[in-house]
Amino acid sequence: MVEIAGGLGMLKSIIENLQGKKVMIAGFGKEGRSSLKFMQEYLPQSPVTIADHDATLREEIYVHHPEVRFLGGPSCLDQLYDFDLILKSPGMKLPEGISKSVQISSQTDLFLAAFHRKIIGITGTKGKSTTAHLIYHLLCKTGKKAVLVGNMGRPCFDSIRELQQETHIVFELSAHQLQYVRHSPHIALLLNVFEEHLDYFVTLETYRQAKMNILRYAEPGDHALTDIRLRAFMPDSNTQLHFLDPDQGFEAQPLPINLPGKHNQYNAAMAISAVELLGANREAAINTLRGFEGLPHRLQLIGPYNGLRFVNDSIATVPEATIAALQAWPQPDYLILGGYDRGIRYETLVGYLLDNSPGMIFYTGKAGDRIVEGLQKQGNSIPLHPFRDLEEVFDHLKIHAKAGQVCLLSPAAASYDRYRNFEQRGDRFVELARAFSKSLR
């Protein structure tokens, strides 16, 4: 067994949970690959089976991992009952009720169980990436050792070799990662819960219950920071609850963070409260906020180029996020909405748009159609322009845009009808914005 720096013995508990079991890794994305790497490094004699809906992975696994069995295609999960343990990857949907007959676990749950006292976990429909990065920034700048893992793109198992006795683990957690966990972090942040991922969870309540797992299994002495509006939904747990109000008067005494929007004041307040629980000096932490740079695709200002400003808020996949963007950038000249329809409700966004009209709305996809349908039912007067590709938006801007105007991409919808993810959508917007600026010179 490989020793971990600092003498942490938590690795042993993960290995013991996997040892002697017939394991299926369900889903062979980034986390599934990390799980396989872990098994091959620490349990090389244990048989492993990979299951993934993408049957084209068979050749890759045959070439690079000939000792691994692969189940691919629509029937890849038909043999779940043949295994002692299913290591579920995020987003891999298992049959209803399967957890009553088969042990379901994941990197997240094994890691939470092993490193519980070291973990600050962050979840929420929106704001979790920014808040997780803020906490990591504050810890590092106030002289504490920290690693950042999870939904931001780094599987938690990949950090194990870096961990030392004094290392804090900042763990960004999605609802998919939390769905089957039976352990909670030492400090849990639940920022908010809005309608999202209903194509997977079906109902808001199922989605909310997955989010609540971040604090459901707390141990005595643990802490949870959450939105005061979620007070009524708190499950029974051993955690000490701390409530923050996202509507508190940040305007009177704003935190010195270089990110626009009241929602980012709330994210910063959550981050400050989290590091205080870890012993950081509040004043010192607040002073380090100024050095934090925002993340891509989150109200990311592109330009101005020849007088035009472009704002990339591709992360906004729910109406609440788009409303927050419109509060930070009120009444933009051009607003880009729509995309893949996950069945979430748009009435609140429609009402906000009618009361705070942008100059023009570009809309796309079934989600865009539903937003426009809602606007038209309410007597809309905002100019509307359908589009299929972002290129069409920029073709229009080349003809009509004027210096001093703002174009905001804040879709209130997922990107899967045209792009692999919100990052690809945002990257394309940025590319076109920069190319567009060149066309004016």
Q: Looking at 83, 105, 127, which one is the last position of a domain?
A: 105
In CATH, what number is assigned to the domain containing residue 386? 3.90.190.20
**H-helix or E-strand containing 150?**
strand 146-150
Nearest to 323 by CA among 220, 429, 396, 246: 246
What's the pLDDT tens digit per position in 320-348? 999 999 999 999 999 999 999 999 999 99
Provide the CA 281 distance to its chain's centre, in angstroms.
28
> Tell me, what's the pLDDT at 5?
42
Could you tell me if 243 and 123 lie in one domain? Answer: yes
Clarify whether residues 70 and 182 are in a common domain.
Answer: no
Residues 220 and 266 in one domain: yes
How far apart CA 337 and CA 322 sit, in angstroms, is: 9
Tokens 């995309």 map to which residue? 339
pLDDT digits (tens, 9 = 90+) for 351-386: 999 999 999 999 999 999 999 999 999 999 999 999
Quick one: pLDDT at residue 253? Answer: 84
Same domain, 259 and 238: yes
Indicate whether 343 belongs to any domain.
yes
pTM, entire model: 0.94
On whether residue 87 sits in a domain, the answer given is yes
Instruction: Supply the CATH number for residue 127's domain.
Output: 3.40.1190.10
Please give the structure tokens belonging to residue 145.
């050792």
* Per-residue pLDDT, 6: 40
Q: Which residue has the tokens 């101005």?
A: 304
Cβ-contact 134, 268 below 8 angstroms:
yes
φ, ψ dihedrals at 82, nearest 5°: -85, 0
* DSSP structure string for 387-433: -SSHHHHHHHHHHH--TT-EEEE--SSB-TTTSSSHHHHHHHHHHHH
| 275 and 319 housed in the same domain | no
Q: Final residue of a domain: which of 47, 70, 105?
A: 105
Q: Are residues 199 and 76 in the same domain?
A: no
* 110 found inside a domain: no
On whether both 83 and 130 belong to a single domain, the answer is no
Q: Write the Ramachandran bin of 91: left for phi over 0, alpha for psi from -120 to 50, otherwise beta.
A: left
pLDDT at position 368 is 98
One domain, residues 257 and 391: no
Residues 428 and 398 placed together within one structural domain of the fold: yes
pLDDT of 439: 62
Closest by Cα among 341, 330, 406 to 368: 341
Helix or strand or coil: residue 88?
strand
Same domain, 157 and 239: yes
pLDDT at 40: 95
- 394 falls within a domain: yes
In a domain, 180, yes or no: yes
pLDDT at residue 10, rounded to an integer: 83
Residue 7 confidence (pLDDT): 36
Same domain, residue pair 360 and 278: no
Asked if residue 130 is part of any domain, the answer here is yes
Same domain for 182 and 306, yes or no, is no
The distance of Cα 436 from the centroid of its chain, to the nearest Å, equals: 30
What token pair was written down for 345? Answer: 């409700």
Helices (H), 241-302: 262-277, 282-288
Say which amino acid occupies 214: I
What is the identity of the amino acid at 191? Answer: L
Q: How far apart are CA 121 and CA 304, in angstroms?
A: 36
Which of these three, 51, 75, 105, is where a domain ends? 105
Number of domains in the chain: 3
Asked if 369 and 432 touch (Cβ cutoff 8 Å), the reply is: no
Domain limits for position 92: 5-105
Rounded-to-integer distance, Cα 81 and Cα 78, Å? 8
- Residue 246: the pLDDT is 87
pLDDT of residue 2: 33
Positions of the chain with pLDDT under 50:
1-7, 441
Instruction: At 184, list the tokens.
Output: 């909670």
CATH code of residue 75: 3.40.50.720
Q: Are 162 and 156 in contact (CB under 8 A)?
A: no
> Does the residue 347 lie in any domain?
yes
Q: How many residues does the structure list for the chain? A: 441
